Chains A and B, each alone.
Chain A
């Protein structure tokens, strides 16, 4: 049996290693090494309910918090599976050498995270993602050495090989030779991350552009809950991007304030009490947006030694990029796009609407509903990889593969034709306009008028994209990825338009209430250039 995993961050490596352990030969394909994936940027921690957690904490409590954070549309079965496996995942990560911070009793240490009733976020300083990635790279290396994992780098996803609703692998483009290569597989797992590039520069990686989800959507895969985009409340503006100031700062006691009449106003504490700084990310982002003032995050009251021990990366980042000494002064913060709760619609086993095509990690929509809790993304990246792999390992391989040679020849000819054509319209110009449209019209607060404007912009860009054909100043991938990214952007705005209520990270100034009639996931499908949005009242993806 042969599996193909596309994307080599935490979700991709978790899938590949689990498949290899069960005897499935796996090709792990990605444009860059795992150490370049967005996973290394996950800072704060990973949630789990272990036997030594605080009294009263339990899997049930974690489930309740996650469902509440997701505003009731996270899907209880899926969330329960996620939370029940927290301990197993922490133990597994320890066993492959993840360097968890430890408490005075030499047990993995925990910190408090937003929207949670108990302290259950296990962490590695403030570089939890990087530490997990390093451990998984080492574990994947074991299977690479034994031949069970074949790692292929410098490969970009082009399209899936699909016939009659079944996936048989993918076409990938070598980013050096620009040649298309077919990878046939019995099962294909997408682990390509979120759609950051639709918004230009976010807190995440420049490699996460949403192309794969957009292209698969155009090839027939359904998308889910695209309108739920998490704005992280605390990011630091720098000349090159907005950088995440980890929730760990608030977990360690950090306080948000603005200055009015020369005095600090701790607005979150005033409005929401003692735990105000640890409310959910969507709520804090809206409060910061709504206050209309420069907001700061203060942690300077902590002992310098504690900051050195628990928040060294935050300390260094602020000093390096803004010359801010967090031991002495507050950090200026503002919200920025951070995480996508929406993505490829998957069933409980992480299979998409295309048979034998799976999706894991942030490119899949599962668990987080309308808003994700801090610490649940690393958990879900790991868990989704395990679920998909276990499902695949129990299935039978294809009996035979259809002939895709005509499709591949058409695609190769199309790319050559485009390369040979001349166009004066730069792709980057359209990508810049796309990010302006998305930031302006799909921000923290939305309304019908803005969404209509955004959709009209996207339609216009799509009409231009059809005519560009090829921009010779950029590699082929940047060219052919444009249309699917624009299509994904259009689908996202359509989903936001159809959800005429406010829920979690989706807030509409013209529909401020949460309404029972919308207490379902949105599913978007593509039909020859058109988007069709429905609410999943039958819970078709919760089985």
Chain B
């Protein structure tokens, strides 16, 4: 199977395509495929030339950390959960997520997600949970991987300067559900950086690898009485 990778040596370098031949097991995932290509003694491209190992991030290799989010045959996925058998195309094409700066090859810089949350004081502070705690929703929301897949498919998210996307709304929900004294403040922040621009396309709900129901969080945040 031919594997095409959109590569880039560093942020300030130009991207280029390089292809590889994968002859490993069929029941592998894309993460397994990358490991297979990378961890041979040498890494050889489809022209038989030695090249640099493909840069990509991984940690858990089982859908629990979100490091390996990338685009496979135009579908944003976690590489460790994307099975080769589920791609019907004859070739596999790998690209980095497009809404974040590329560090190298398939590695992107997602620090903007974290920074927007710090800059807007999205933290709990004094713990005083809502009386109608929704365990199921809280449990799932706290599993957010900050992988960026929801941002990738969001039609509204561009450069993250004003609209911060679903991970931001998710953490706003977590704060509102755990600190009754901060609901008003967090609702305003949520309005400013999410609600105002969200087009309710709900692609975020459909793509989330851990099944977060962003719509349920939004509903609760929207119901908070504004000052």
Q: Which residues of A contact B (CB under 8 A)?
A: 32-33, 35-38, 40-41, 94-99, 101-102, 124-125, 127, 130-131, 134-135, 138-139, 141-142, 144-145, 151, 153-154, 176, 201, 205-207, 239-241, 243, 317, 320-321, 426, 428-429, 432, 472-475
CB of A55 to closest CB in B, whole Å: 27
**B residues near A320, Cβ cutoff 8 Å:** 63, 81
From residue 1 to 43 of chain B, which have CB atoms closer than 8 A to chain A? 10-11, 25, 27-29, 31-32, 35, 38-43
Contact A32–B31 (Cβ < 8 Å): no
Contact B65–A40 (Cβ < 8 Å): yes
B189 interfacial by beta-carbon distance below 8 Å = no
B199 interfacial by beta-carbon distance below 8 Å = no
B191 interfacial by beta-carbon distance below 8 Å = no
8 Å CB contact of B62 from A32, A33, A125, A241: A241
Contact B65–A36 (Cβ < 8 Å): yes
12 chain-A/chain-B pairs, Cβ below 8 angstroms:
A35-B145, A37-B65, A38-B60, A40-B65, A138-B124, A153-B111, A206-B58, A239-B25, A240-B29, A240-B35, A473-B42, A475-B55
B143 interfacial by beta-carbon distance below 8 Å = yes
CB of B81 to closest CB in A, whole Å: 6
From residue 144 to 194 of chain B, which have CB atoms closer than 8 A to chain A? 144-146, 171, 174-175, 178
Q: How large is the interface on B (under 10, 10 to 19, 20 to 34, 35 or more residues)?
A: 35 or more
Q: 5 new A-B pairs (CB below 8 Å) besides A41-B64, A99-B142, A317-B62?
A: A38-B59, A206-B61, A239-B29, A432-B39, A473-B43
Contact A473–B60 (Cβ < 8 Å): no
CB of B57 to closest CB in A, whole Å: 7
Contact A321–B51 (Cβ < 8 Å): no
Q: Give the one of B111, B114, B119 with max A CB within 10 A.
A: B114
8 Å CB contact of A97 from B50, B67, B103, B174: B174
**A residues near B41, Cβ cutoff 8 Å:** 426, 428-429
**A residues near B114, Cβ cutoff 8 Å:** 33, 151
CB of A99 to closest CB in B, whole Å: 5
**B residues near A95, Cβ cutoff 8 Å:** 127
**B residues near A41, Cβ cutoff 8 Å:** 60, 62, 64-65
8 Å CB contact of B139 from A36, A125, A317: A125
Q: Name B31's closest neighbour in chain A (CB-CB).
A: A240
A90 and B31 CA atoms in complex are apart in Å by: 36
**A residues near B171, Cβ cutoff 8 Å:** 138
Q: Name B84's closest neighbour in chain A (CB-CB).
A: A239
Contact A97–B124 (Cβ < 8 Å): yes
A40 and B66 CA atoms in complex are apart in Å by: 11
